[in-house]
A and B are shown apart, each in its own frame.
Chain A
Amino acid sequence: MPTSGRLRWFIFIGLAPSVALFLLFVIAPMIWSVYYGFYDWSGIGDSRFIKLDNYKEVFDDPVFWKALKNNLIVVAASVFGQVPIALILALVLRKTSLFQRIVRGAIFMPMVLSSVVIGMIWQYMYHPQVGILNFALDWLQLGNLKRQWLGDPDIAMYSLTVPIVWNYIGLYLLLFMAALSNTPAEVDDAAKIDGASGARKLFAVTLPMIWGTIQVAVILCIAGSLKAFDLVFVMTGGGPAHGTELLATYMYNNTFNIYRFGYGSAISTVTIIISFMFIIISQLLLRRDQRQF
């Protein structure tokens, strides 16, 4: 057995690199953002301490609220788009046949692409002149449905939710498939004996069995929606007229386009707090529901 001194040394050496990297590049910036939020600073030169002014401005800023609303639209699209579609697909994709494996592989494929690739592909799919979507509408004799999909501030945010759902559905499909394959076979047999089949079996037996996974999926949707920076940044940059601004793009634009580093930091701090609130609330909901079962 190593002596306790050597053991302590080993624990220290073993953990020090990961803890140091993590403190320096993840935790410190979070604290830094609170600090710079108190300053008026253009990124170079002098900064001026302005107390809570930046934070007050955040809460009075209509664009900030618009960005928060857009983040919630992404959450809603993920919860009501990704989760049900993935669930239906998981229910019909339970076999291991070659056909089903290919379908699964195809649905998951967007997950491995860089968001800049996905953003640019969809930018061109939506393109007013060469976009395949408008061509398809023409071909279907639905020319009057043609839109400036990303150019119209009223619909741009909704156009953006389609690639987001498309991108991540494979992940949720796999989550649900794993959950379904973990339900014991006896439950299926029991349902058969009780004469439950089809929709009744689905709602009375299958869905309750994987309810925990559905909740995990919802939490992932919430956490994931806060990460949807790249795609929106590539496709619209938050425009037109802040129509697709997310918290992260608004922070970026304030900081790197109009050089308000202090204000950008304040938005960053508030975003971190909001994310924690979202996650704590969803965790609490999850825990309470688990107690019921």
Chain B
Amino acid sequence: MNNTLQSAKSYNRIINRSTNRVVVILLTIYSALTVYPLLWLLISAFKTDQEFFLRPFGLPEHWMGENLRRAWSVGHMGQGFLNSIIVTSISLLLTLLVGSLGAYIVARFRFKLKPVVMGMFMIGMLIPIHSTLVPLFILMKQMHILNSYGALLFPYTAFALPTTIFIISAFMSSIPRDLEEAAMMDGNGLWGIFWRVMLPVSRPALATTGILSFLQFWNDYAFALIFISNNALKTLPLSLSIFTTGYSTNYGLTMAAIAIAAIPTILIYLLLQEQVMKGMTAGAVKG
């Protein structure tokens, strides 16, 4: 009896160990397939156009940095980088500032219109942003802000606000009120409490929403495509569009351009993996 039980146990263990091994192999294959498109991109960026046909799976014979250099200048990607940095950082600052102030009000104060305001933000989170592209275009045309940084940073901020406010206000609601009361004893007014207590304490929530908004702004294509036609204002994703039309048979060059655009976010992801994952999941659930 005891023996059979033991042999059953060791049998189970063997089964477990072999299923584990199968799982590991399957997972390895799956993640290899997942990463392959990106790997292929990075390798292809260094290939000559002939090598796309001659050795589709192989490594390039000479790692041609030339593609990267040409893509950088042909696509005016330096300008694109600069524009992306300007638009993203201003929008991010605006979103965090306006959003956290709004979040503080929503988290701590009662007022008559609160349900209306919250309901409005809720509706805003539900509508797919692309369905408003046409009316937004018309509106900004009438406001004469098309083809300016404003055409991007105001809509970016406006669409990021609901998620930002919901995440930060949820965090602020969990902060013990003692902190604010102590700050008030020290002679702080409401602004002082916001700047000196609420904002510093909410750093984790600010980081979460900051990363989420950063990726949204930095990666945006649709808004930039429709609201910006001036070459000097094109953001990094938009600088790729020239390669989809004019250089599409210049495979190596196009791949190099895509790689240049992809590398910054991949680097940020590799550096801040846990925070990025947390931010994007929180954003998806709240949004």
Taking a contact as CB atoms under 8 Å apart, the answer to whether A261 and B138 are in contact is yes
Inside 8 A of A171's CB, which chain B residues have their CB? 280-281, 284
Taking a contact as CB atoms under 8 Å apart, the answer to whether A175 and B37 are in contact is no
Taking a contact as CB atoms under 8 Å apart, the answer to whether B130 and A216 are in contact is no
Secondary structure type dominating chain B contacts = helix
Q: How many residues of B contact A (CB 8 A)?
A: 89
Taking a contact as CB atoms under 8 Å apart, the answer to whether A117 and B262 are in contact is yes
Cβ-closest chain A residue relative to B97: A17
Minimal beta-carbon separation of A31 from chain B (angstroms)? 8
Q: Does A32 contact B (CB under 8 A)?
A: yes
Inside 8 A of A132's CB, which chain B residues have their CB? 40, 56-57
Q: Does B102 contact A (CB under 8 A)?
A: yes
Contact flag A29-B101 (CB < 8 Å), given A166-B34, A175-B285, A234-B221: no
In the bound complex, what is the Cα–Cα distance between A88 and B271 (angstroms)?
Answer: 27
Q: Does A135 contact B (CB under 8 A)?
A: yes
Interface pairs A-B: 5 shortest CB-CB: A114-B219, A25-B158, A29-B135, A33-B135, A18-B102
Inside 8 A of A130's CB, which chain B residues have their CB? 52-53, 56, 251
Since A135-B57, A268-B135 are in contact, a sample of 19 more A-B pairs with Cβ atoms closer than 8 Å, ordered by chain A residue number, is A14-B194, A30-B127, A30-B135, A32-B135, A99-B24, A103-B31, A106-B31, A107-B31, A110-B34, A113-B219, A114-B218, A114-B262, A115-B221, A120-B244, A120-B254, A120-B258, A130-B53, A247-B131, A248-B130
Interface bits B242-264 vs A (CB < 8 Å: 1, else 0): 01100000010011001001100
Q: Which of B28, B124, B131 contacts A268 (CB 8 A)?
A: B131
Contact flag A248-B133 (CB < 8 Å), given A18-B161, A174-B281: yes
Q: Does B208 contact A (CB under 8 A)?
A: no
Contact flag A175-B284 (CB < 8 Å), given A112-B268, A113-B219, A229-B130: yes
Taking a contact as CB atoms under 8 Å apart, the answer to whether B161 and A36 are in contact is no
Taking a contact as CB atoms under 8 Å apart, the answer to whether A271 and B41 are in contact is no
Taking a contact as CB atoms under 8 Å apart, the answer to whether B190 and A252 are in contact is no
Q: Which of A10, A29, A121, A279 contacts B190 (CB 8 A)?
A: A10
In the bound complex, what is the Cα–Cα distance between A219 and B27 (angstroms)?
Answer: 27
Q: Does B170 contact A (CB under 8 A)?
A: no
Interface bits A232-267 vs B (CB < 8 Å: 1, else 0): 011000000000000110011001100001001100
Inside 8 A of B24's CB, which chain A residues have their CB? 99
Q: Does A207 contact B (CB under 8 A)?
A: no
Q: Which of A23, A33, A106 contacts B35 (CB 8 A)?
A: A106
